[in-house]
Amino acid sequence: MSSSQLELADTHCHLDLSAFKADLADVLDRAKAEGVKHILVPVIDLASSRKAVSLAERFPGVYAAVGVHPHRSASWNAAVAGELRSLAESSSVCAIGETGLDFYRNLAPPDVQRRAFREQLALAADLGLPVVVHSRQALEEVMEDLLAWSVELPAELKQRAGVLHAYSGDLEAAAKATAEGFYIGIAGPVTYRKADERRRVTAKLPTERILLETDAPYLTPHPHGRRRNEPAFVGIVAKEVSKLFGMKEHALARITSQNAAHLFGWNHGNN
């Protein structure tokens, strides 16, 4: 099957970063040629949020999240929250994030990360937006906050609460998350040679709760090795995941694209 027959969504791609500054238009053209219809740009801080919204308002098929990454949690304050709320008025914005906890690098103290995470969860609920969640060596704490938050969500957000980005956790946590309206993001590491456990967990997930993503320019899938990742490569992830579920690639692409549309409500005219 030719890539042009696929309908793909890259639900996590950092197009705002300098890695794409020199050839962004070419990157988007290559993605389009590979069947990528929609791209979500998650962010790391307020400046990144502004840029993501600008990109999404400029390029058809590109959407933005706004928020503060756990690495930048020390920048979180009431003024930042207020500007993010204003940015979210753009019809290009369809999520809050990426937010969450990262106890691997600990670039911000854990208590500072938790405060920023919880306040962004509250902001998301108030705005009726799902969350894009980063978790690294913090899954237990992340799940504790997410499950407590999801209980109070309004009905229209209950089954589209958010996504656990580049999921690397176990099946038990994934089952709890999907039961509470979260999706599971599958990225390039599922293609790595030593990722047998990740593939085992992925193969047991409900297909109606998975999303495909690149995390470009990071997490480049095999066999592209040390090359910069880009949204055109989300098809490589789709191919690997389709094999895990024993289904045709076009079917997996269609299901995951529908999942993304349900979660993010691609609703600002970029079809």
Q: Where are the domains of the chain?
A: 3-264
pTM of the model: 0.96
- The residues facing 6 across adjacent strands are none
From the candidate CATH numbers 2.60.40.10, 3.40.50.970, 1.10.3720.10, 3.20.20.140, the one assigned to the domain spanning 3-264:
3.20.20.140
Angle, nearest 10°, between helix axes 139-150 and 171-179? Answer: 20
Residue 21, classified by CB atoms within 10 Å of its CB into exposed (0-12), middle (13-18) or buried (19+), is exposed
pLDDT digits (tens, 9 = 90+) for 59-90: 999 999 999 999 999 999 999 999 999 999 99
- The residues facing 62 across adjacent strands are 39
Instruction: State the pLDDT at residue 193.
Output: 94
Instruction: State the pLDDT at residue 200.
Output: 98
List, for the chain, all residue ranges whose pLDDT scores fall below the cut of 50: 1-3, 268-271
Sign of CA dihedral 124, 92, 164, 97: negative
Report which of 215, 219, 216, 206 is spatially closest to residue 252, judged by C-alpha positions: 206
Question: 243-251, long-range: CB within 8 Å, 24+ apart, which pairs?
Answer: 244/190, 244/199, 244/202, 244/203, 245/203, 245/207, 247/207, 248/1, 249/1, 249/6, 250/1, 250/5, 250/6
Residue with tokens 């600990």: 106
Instruction: State the pLDDT at residue 267.
Output: 52
Strand locations in 126-206 (E): 131-136, 162-164, 182-186
Instruction: State the pLDDT at residue 126.
Output: 97
Strand locations in the chain (E): 8-10, 36-41, 62-66, 93-102, 131-136, 162-164, 182-186, 210-212
The answer to whether the beta carbons of residues 192 and 222 sit under 8 Å apart is yes
- Spatial separation of the C-alpha atoms in residues 195 and 185, rounded to whole Å: 15
Instruction: State the pLDDT at residue 270.
Output: 41
Instruction: State the pLDDT at residue 225.
Output: 80
